Amino acid sequence: MITTDLNTFYSNMGIDSWLLELSKKTENDLRDRFHNIDKTAEYNQLKILKAMQDNRVSDIHFAATTGYGYNDIGRDTLEKVYADVFHAEDALVRPQLISGTHALTVALFGNLRPGDELLSPVGRPYDTLEGVIGIKETRGSLAEHNITYKQVDLKPDGSFDYDGIKKAIGPKTKMATIQRSKGYADRPTLSVEQIGDLISFMKDIKPDLICMVDNCYGEFVETVEPTDVGADLCVGSLIKNPGGGLAPIGGYIVGKTEYVENAAFRLTSPGLGKEVGATLGLNQSLYQGLFMAPQVVSGALKGAIYAARLYEYFGFYVRPDSYEDRYDIIQAVTLNSPEAVIAFCEGIQAAAPVDSFVTPVPWPIPGYNCDVIMAAGAFVQGSSIELSADAPIKPPYTVFFQGGLTWYHAKYGILKSLQSLYDKKLIKFDQQIK
């Protein structure tokens, strides 16, 4: 007989009854937080809907173009929609931008020239940008083009070192890059308000400074975006938040027209810019993914907070904790051993709709300075808005969990990760649930 009892179904899917009881209590504790997330999603849904209606989106905009892609009205209208959603002057939204790192690279090379200086006022950037900048010696880096780099680390409490930033900004400082999310660093994710304060401070010192925000993992987590608080450029990946799990590839660059156009000339060629770039029938997925993004992001946020609360229960250090405000979808959990990191990722992989039978293993991924383990049974390869987890295999052995196209899938993934740790005797459950 087919059962419709939820607990029985979870049991059949490998989750023990004690863990289900703990889950039930946790969800009840988080009810108010989940309600607030839903209200943010509702606002962002209306914002995107209005942008689509104002730009008169029609099924004609889903038509495919090939070759040069001249007069691709679907592509051009999508870019107007993105500009409106982000309250920006212009946008570049293309499947030819293959990742967030690529989109950032295009924006950097499009707007920096030999002799210019790039400043990071928020510490060391994400690993894959080290080669782009030339922090790590790499062919084709900014450093090879005589573009220098300065960095001002955050203070130990995660706040900005305003004195250090003021000293670092000089006549050659052309652009500041602000990474919103933590990456693999043990520091807080930045709120849009904090980013706005930082931009205002730097602009007071050098008004013509180009301020670019790496917005990856942060889109639609709040009701405002960095372009609402002074960012000249805002950059991200479509296989993260704004693609809603439907975009199969792509990235976006939004901001002031001059700087977006400079990026477009770098992406295609001088003199062509935004005029070319066929969309090859992908437009419908890009439009629909954007439309779905607020709801998908809300599910990922609920999963992150739920993960934090459960892992706190077992005594692990989590960042952010389950009480803090959220500014991206990433949940960091410090597991203290490589065995625990691997068990966590095995649980996430086993919860996937795709490749659930695969066992993830650490390996030397290009762009990283140590072995990395990645769990992602995704419909789109590398899509971190889908249920996924990754971790560098080095102390303090912190795993970074994100995504879940639905809240229910994120929930199951976290339960599966805990079950994996429990089965391997890496956690114990010997406390009374109160």
Exposed/middle/buried for residue 67 (C-beta within 10 Å: 0-12, 13-18, 19+): exposed
pLDDT, position 369: 76
For 138, phi then psi, to 5°, come to -145, 140
6-43+291-423 maps to which CATH number? 3.90.1150.60
Residue 396 vs residues 201, 346, 356: alpha-carbon distances, Å: 34, 19, 27
Give the angle 289-249-252 at the CA atoms, nearest 5°: 75
Each residue's pLDDT tens digit, 35-66: 999 999 999 999 999 999 999 999 999 999 99
Token pair listed for 186: 């043990």
Exposed/middle/buried for residue 43 (C-beta within 10 Å: 0-12, 13-18, 19+): middle
Task: Please give the Cα distance from 346 to 423 (Å, whole number).
Answer: 12
How many CA atoms within 13 Å lie on the side-chain side of 433? Answer: 13
pLDDT, position 434: 44
Decide if 109 contacts 142 (C-beta within 8 A).
yes
pLDDT, position 185: 79
Per-residue pLDDT of the chain in tens (434 residues, 90 and over written 9): 677 899 999 999 999 999 999 999 999 999 999 999 999 999 999 999 999 999 999 999 999 999 999 999 999 999 999 999 999 999 999 999 999 999 999 999 999 999 999 999 999 998 889 999 999 999 999 999 999 999 999 999 999 999 999 999 999 999 999 999 987 778 899 999 999 999 999 999 999 999 999 999 999 999 999 999 999 999 999 999 999 999 999 999 999 999 999 999 999 999 999 999 999 999 999 999 999 999 999 999 999 999 999 999 999 999 999 999 999 999 999 999 999 999 999 999 999 999 999 999 999 877 677 899 999 999 999 999 999 999 999 999 999 999 999 999 999 999 999 999 999 999 998 754 44
Residue given tokens 């930082």 in the structure block:
198
Letter for the amino acid at 288? Q
Task: Please give the Cα distance from 248 to 82 (Å, whole number).
Answer: 17
Task: Please give the Cα distance from 118 to 298 (Å, whole number).
Answer: 34
pLDDT, position 366: 72
Cβ density class 261-291: b for 16+ within 10 Å, e for less: bbbbbbbbeeeebbebbbbeebbbbbbbbbb
The second-level CATH assignment, the architecture, of 65-279 is 3-Layer(aba) Sandwich (3.40)
Task: Please give the Cα distance from 165 to 205 (Å, whole number).
Answer: 10
- What's the pTM value of the predicted model, to 2 decimals? 0.95
pLDDT, position 182: 86
Task: Please give the Cα distance from 266 to 245 (Å, whole number).
Answer: 27
Token pair listed for 248: 């199969």
Query: How many other CB atoms are found less than 10 A from the CB of residue 312?
Result: 16
pLDDT, position 367: 65
Which residue ranges make up each domain of the chain?
6-43+291-423, 65-279
Cis preceding linkage at 320, omega within 30:
yes
Task: Please give the Cα distance from 153 to 161 (Å, whole number).
Answer: 7
Fold agreement (6-43+291-423, 65-279)? no
Task: Please give the Cα distance from 395 to 139 (Å, whole number).
Answer: 29
Token pair listed for 430: 């010997």
Letter for the amino acid at 197? D
